Structure 1
Amino acid sequence: MKITQISEHIWSLKIWMLIPIHVWIVKDEDGVTLVDAGIPFMAKGIQQFIETLNAGPLKRVMLTHGHGDHTGAILKILNVTQVPIFAHRIEIPYIEGELPYPRRKKAAISIPKQITQALPETNQGVLQTMGGLTPYLTPGHSPGHVVYYHQQDQVLLAGDLFTAKKGELRKPMAMFTADMTEAIRSSSIVREIKPLRLEVCHGSSVLQPANQLDTYLKS
């Protein structure tokens, strides 16, 4: 597992399984947040790094969405540390296997029922900041996909909203994307937020991503 500090409060943990798979550790005053949980054998490396970091205990796991390469280590982590797991309320029926993801024939359980909690939101549907991360609903790759913005570090953890190669924004992987048109619409969050840095699960870091958005939309 390759560990890279990408900003003052955020570390990327990466493995290769034909393609790169990233998860992120975010430290805050009250401990550590894990964004996405990769695949099962990443669990031990994630836990060891949190201990080495010595920034407090794991407080929560926040998911961008519920595909297996983002949820795989959760049960192993929960065997060691009981922490809340959060995803967007729209995503939870797909995570729990009540509904099949769009374009898939069968529903599949990523996480057993009654483990995943809905990200807290106001009565107006505004998602609330936790652990220094503000979620934004960005559907398309999956119905309840979200990205997380760390305002202090100006880093956007974008999950599978994009892929990236050599620092350039690319579209999410078509074969796993429920609605590519919607996913491309959701990319406008980058123009709204204008992060200094964008991180994806599958690919490289992207600096000043808003400057690339017009080119991305034309590709």
Structure 2
Amino acid sequence: MMKATQVSEHIWSLSTWMLFPIRVWIVVDQEGVTLIDAGIPSMAKGILQFIDQLGKGPLKRILLTHGHSDHVGAVTRIVQARPVPVYVHEIEMPFMEGKLAYPRRKKAGVSLAQGIAEPLQIDGQHQLDRVSGLIPYLTPGHSPGHVIYYHDEDQVLLAGDLFTSKKGRLNRPMPMFTADMQEAVKSGEIVNRLQPKVLEVAHGGPVHAPAEQWSSYFAKMTK
């Protein structure tokens, strides 16, 4: 069972539960729909049904925050039904495709087969290209090539596993699956720089005005 919630004018979240909440996002623009992350395999049908029911145009692309299995699980089924490009940061690709073991893991494993995803595009200033109203930012720590996506018009930050949340408060990413917690905390400072109205995380509910919590979160994580 999947729950749909409108986050802002252009963004919806779709969530399910598997020991912990798993959330993906639908972002609409004039061209159609962009899917941010793809959860677990059982979410594929519900994601496609929601896009059809939404009536905001076809699925145009999938953007991944990173390559862990609970973020890419439905990708294969979705692209079999709707052949669209899939993007992830180039740093993440060898870990996701099983060429390298993720840090702190004993061996490499394939979470998404080679040839399905391609690297996020880079502009002339060597910054990640804006996609569908979203500005990607590299935020390593949870994984080597973790990326967040900021919708500057709606002032919503889709943060993947940069944080979790608890009762509307910033919380650390899951330690068991985080490659470098110190680096993840450092990357989290971007909420202070961007000052989003809403922070969305994959595992937990929304955090409003997260920058107001940054200093206390940082102090807790670095003491």
The verdict on a shared fold, with TM-score over 0.5 as the criterion, is: yes
CA apart distance, 1:123: 4.3
Q: Which amino acid aligns with 1:218?
A: A
Which ranges of structure 2 fall in alignment gaps of 5 or more residues? Answer: none
1:116 and 2:126 correspond: no
Distance 2:161 2:61 in 1: 20
Percent identity (aligned): 60
Q: How does 1:91-106 map to 2 (within 5 A)?
A: 91-106=92-107
RMSD (CA atoms): 0.7
CA apart distance, 1:18: 1.3
Which ranges of structure 1 fall in alignment gaps of 5 or more residues? Answer: none
Distance 2:65 2:16 in 1: 18
Task: Report the equivalent of 1:200.
Answer: 201
Taking structure 2 as the reference length, the TM-score comes to: 0.97
Distance 1:65 1:189 in 2: 17
Alignment partner of 1:139: what SS? Answer: coil
What is the total number of aligned residue pairs between the two structures?
A: 219
Distance 2:122 2:28 in 1: 22
Q: Which amino acid aligns with 2:170?
A: L
Distance 1:186 1:33 in 2: 24
Alignment partner of 1:185: what SS? Answer: helix
Task: Report the equivalent of 2:134.
Answer: 133
Task: Report the equivalent of 1:31.
Answer: 32
Task: Report the equivalent of 1:70.
Answer: 71
Alignment partner of 1:105: what SS? Answer: coil
Runs of 4+, deviation exceeding 4 Å: none
Per-residue CA deviation, residues 164-217 of structure 1 (Å, 9 max, x unaligned), is 011100000001000000000001110110000000000110000000000101
Distance 1:93 1:14 in 2: 28
Q: Which amino acid aligns with 2:51?
A: I
CA apart distance, 1:100: 0.6
Per-residue CA deviation, residues 115-148 of structure 1 (Å, 9 max, x unaligned), is 1110011244200101111100000000000000
Q: Which amino acid aligns with 2:110?
A: I
Q: Which amino acid aligns with 1:5?
A: Q
